[in-house]
């Protein structure tokens, strides 16, 4: 949970609550590591995997809107700059 929280910029308790809700809805499953009970693996269920195409389509639409009227060169420059900023953290 801590790793997910760090990657999405939320606190661990928020992520735990969200993951627990997704478990109740049947989209993800949680499993404890057999060697270290503190480690919890979160995986997509079949129901969760069925949503992948929907989210990919939404993501592609958002990206298309985001890059509207921005040339390929400008897109590449933006990604380069954002990567440079990200590497400073």
Query: Which mean pLDDT values do the consecutive 10-residue runs of the chain (89 residues) have?
Result: 90 95 97 92 96 96 94 94 90
Domain 2-46 listed as CATH 1.10.3470.10: no
Distance CA 52, CA 49 (A): 5
Query: pTM of whole model > 0.85?
Result: no
Residues 6+ apart with CB under 8 A from 27: 44, 45, 47, 48, 51
Give the pLDDT score at 88. 84
40-44 vs 28-32, strand pairing mode: antiparallel
Domain boundaries, the chain: 2-46, 52-87
The H-or-E segment that residue 41 falls in is strand 40-44
Within 10 A of 42 (CB to CB), how many other CB atoms are there?
15
The H-or-E segment that residue 32 falls in is strand 28-32
Give the pLDDT score at 86. 87
């Amino acid at each position: 949970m801590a790793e997910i929280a760090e990657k999405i910029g939320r606190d661990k308790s928020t992520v735990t609550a969200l993951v627990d809700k997704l478990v109740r809805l049947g989209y993800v499953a949680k499993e404890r590591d057999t060697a270290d009970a503190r480690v919890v693996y979160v995986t997509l269920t079949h129901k969760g995997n069925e949503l992948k195409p929907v989210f990919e389509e939404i993501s592609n639409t958002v990206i298309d809107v985001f890059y509207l009227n921005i040339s390929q060169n400008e897109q590449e420059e933006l990604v380069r700059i954002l990567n440079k900023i990200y590497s400073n953290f």
